[in-house]
Amino acid sequence: MAVDHGAAEHLSHTKITLAGLTFHQDTMIMSGLAIVGLFLFIFVTTRRLTAGVPGGAQNFMEVVVEFIENTVRENLPVNIPWITPLALTLFLYILFGNWLGEIPTLKSPTADINTTVALAIISFIILVFYSIKFKGIKGYSAEFLFHPFGKWLIPVNLFMKVVEEVAKPASLSLRLFGNMFAGEVMIILIAMLIPWYFNWSAGVVWLGWHLFVGIIQAFVFTILTVVYIAIAQQQMEEH
């Protein structure tokens, strides 16, 4: 019961109501901290740029920027200048949000389903926008209302296409939320169930693993967003 109560207390949210809408106050604060931390990190890093051997922060940023630039360049058939900055911002914000929960008494904003759904909706809106921009409303609509084996299969195609489109933001948000939420639960359980003289060793191992998972999940969310936008650029095949 003590474990359940402690876990529930840490994973519950402080709620406020404004204009009939309920907000998770703690998630909003943690999101703000992630943004401030990201801003300070970039500010300090850019002030210490060197043409010589880079330090740890500059080296990390160079690796991240190069990886995302290559990912965008290799996947997008048509260059969109602001997609790289968007992907970089998504990655760094999600990464800082993921890692924030590793600090005692703090929580990861990405361990709240509302945060991950909001991020996924942003990606989905961009996906739909570029689908319409490159294919036109007629071309985009035709993907829902066309089936190569006959008009009588259009209802089936419509249903499958809607499921496919909805699955994109759903998978993005649920994958990120599930991994971050489960990670915080495991840290709490390790702290509560393992005797204190073994707690630190298990905690350090799990902390290292969860930091790694935080990086992977940030990469996965960012890469899938870029891939979805690339799919949106592909012209529908002539049937």
- Enter the tokens of residue 63: 């690796």
Domain membership of residue 76 (yes or no) is: yes
141 labelled catalytic: no
Domain membership of residue 121 (yes or no) is: yes
Considering the candidates 131, 179, 199, 201, report the single residue annotated as catalytic.
179
Considering the candidates 114, 157, 175, 199, report the single residue annotated as catalytic.
175
Distance CA 8, CA 10 (A): 6
Domain membership of residue 171 (yes or no) is: yes
131 labelled catalytic: no
Tens-digit pLDDT string for the chain (239 aa): 444 455 555 567 788 888 777 888 888 999 999 999 888 888 888 887 777 666 677 788 888 888 888 888 888 777 777 888 888 889 999 999 988 877 777 888 898 889 999 999 988 888 888 888 888 888 788 777 766 666 667 777 788 888 888 888 898 898 888 888 877 777 667 666 766 666 666 667 767 777 888 888 899 999 888 888 887 776 544 43
Distance CA 239, CA 236 (A): 9
Domain carrying residue 159:
2-233
59 labelled catalytic: no
Domain membership of residue 178 (yes or no) is: yes
Domain membership of residue 238 (yes or no) is: no
Domain membership of residue 181 (yes or no) is: yes
- Enter the tokens of residue 23: 């907000």
Residue 150: predicted pLDDT: 61
Domain membership of residue 194 (yes or no) is: yes
Domain membership of residue 239 (yes or no) is: no
Considering the candidates 131, 171, 173, 201, report the single residue annotated as catalytic.
171
Please answer whether residues 201 and 221 qualify as being in contact, where contact means their C-beta atoms are separated by less than 8 angstroms.
no
Q: How many domains does the chain have?
A: 1
Residue 121: predicted pLDDT: 92
CA dihedral 205, 210, 216, 217 (to 10 degrees): 170
Burial level of 172, CB count in 10 A (0-12/13-18/19+)? buried
